[in-house]
Structure 1
Amino acid sequence: MKRRHRTFMKNHGLSPYVWIFLSILPFYFIFQDSTTVEIAVGIAMVAGFFLSYVLSFSTRGGAVYAGAGVQMAIAAAMTLLFGYMYFFLFLAYFIGHLTNRAAFWTFYPILLTSTFATSYYGFITHPEFITQLPFVFLSLIAVILLPVSTHNKMKEDRLQGQLEDANRKISELVKMEERQRIARDLHDTLGQQLSMIGLKSDLAEKLLEKDPEKAAKEIKEVQNTARISLKELRELVTQMRGTKLEDEMDRVKQLLAAANISCSVDGSLTLPHSLAIAESVVSMCLKEAVTNVVKHSGAANCNITVESSQNALTVTVKDDGGGMSGANKLNHSESGISGMKERLEFVNGTLDVFSDAGTTVVIHVPGDART
């Protein structure tokens, strides 16, 4: 139950409590100086409004627009009969969630017209409107701004979801292309050599009795071909093991330059042999850390420090951005930090993140990553 409440508050913040307050408020207006019939009519309208409101959020197509029309009619009637115009805030929030652009720009002007017209009439027919003037004024501003801001936020969320889907598809395509590249390299590198070894071995076997000297020569060529194949295979595997830190540093410099972020690098990029196993992992973590700087920090400067010895390698990425407070903290927490930690665990490394004036990411691996 507590987990559901935290999730609900994370998605909606304080807005549910605002809506609860606004849903109770109409009864105060209904029971003020009203006859029994007016009270019954008012309660029926409130029930009808919220029933229509809930159903409109859970249906699709024409029913959504019909529900919006019913809500607008009830909101206008509540304003004219009881001087309660705050149902228009619910409508403003609802219209902002309309995904159809034409529907939004159809209902938005109708909402503004009906809100201002009924409010003006309310000032004439309900003197108590004067006492509500500050709240009415704030409500009118909300009716103007809330649909547009909500609509733009919904559009941004949809685009963000589409972007994430596209990035996932690109990632899968990259993996597929990499598999195909590895398959081509293995085929081109080893296929011909192994075929030659097989043919020469068969030939040597046939020549053993007829021409031993020539058979020995063929066996020598088989041995030589096997050594060449082994050498080429080792080179291919070495290339597949990952990126050198020096090469990755060139790429992150280009990334930061493209984002108009000044970059400075301190320390030597030539690592001792004991760090060769961890170098590829550190390079990937460096790329992720710099990507976070570009996407989330809002920084103008980024400093990368490399400290290496026979015993350890430490790479520090520090920016002068907004740190990890508020929404930025959420962005950082969901932006590959857990992935970096998992990679570093493979080489017994650690990751530390500090946030004060900017954000500092410290990547540390021991000299012997195999222990």
Structure 2
Amino acid sequence: MPFNLLPYLPPRQPQDWLWLALGAVFVAVYIAVVELQRYRVFLIPMELMICAAFSLLALNNYMIIFPAWQVSFILAQTSRGRKSFRWFVGIYELVILASFIRFGLMTPSVTSWDSGELVGAIFPLVLPFMAYFFAREIFTSRTIRQTNRRLEAVVQRDERERIARDLHDTLGQSFSMITVKAELAKKLLIKAPERVGVELDDIQQTSRKNLQLVREIVNNLHQQSISEMLVTQSAALNAANVALVTFGEAEAEQWPTEIQATISAVLQEALTNVIRHAHAGKVTVGFNRQPVNYEVTVQDDGDGQLFERPGSNGISGMRNRISAIGGHITIHANRIGTLVTCQLPEGK
């Protein structure tokens, strides 16, 4: 950025101060495009107008390289952005071509460009296409990696279900038999009755506890994991033209089964609300392991409403599930859209 403003340093004329001030405004708008996602519909045209002023009036086509990369990368993230990219790149290319025409009119003595000038002229023309397709490749590869990881988790779940069946068919029956035999032995044994009875009672109690433990393991293995839920919901989000981005998902796959089951149910409702009500183009789901709890966030870039309507059971059901295990959930609108934050205590 400083190299773009070197021609106006040190400022000697009033227009030098004007270009420096406009450069400062550009930096502020450039940052705002990243931070204030809800206002991009106004900020991106403003950013392009500032760069157009540099290109057409100051014949400075280096400043416009910044939005060529930034805006193209942003619009490539969602299916909705493809139509906006056509408008953006159309206006962008018109500004570049107009600056070339004006440069030719102002410097008619220049009849040809050397190789360095030619590359410098072609690079701004092709940069938005390079950035857009590069970004599409990045997001497509990320989606493929996430899908493959989720499918691997589904395969692992099939293996867990097989183990669950084996536990139920073998250990479950064995423990039941031990219980029956212990009860029978208690009635038949006649030697040292004062000691055998206590021992058999302990065997009976232990076997029943183990049988109950096996049943709990089987039930836990049948609960939905986070990856399974995301496989289903990502397909629904894609159908609604909503891009799904996650972070911390690999670590969350190792969280306790009960935590994953609760989070899966809550996330399913939250993502369904995004599809139905948020009018969003992108939703980000984050998983974070805190020192004393598990934290999950769902951030969309939609209308920024809470969507807690009278008679609606969706959000109340989310709250009930979280509070049932001592957790906490908050839903509020921020500068991006709607943020849902769930915190579940450790060891629940």
Which bin holds the TM-score, normalised by the shorter protein? 0.3 to 0.5
TM-score with structure 2 setting the length: 0.45
Structure with the greater relative contact order (CA < 8 A, sep ≥ 6): 1 or 2? Answer: 2
Q: Which has the larger radius of gyration?
A: 1
TM-score with structure 1 setting the length: 0.43
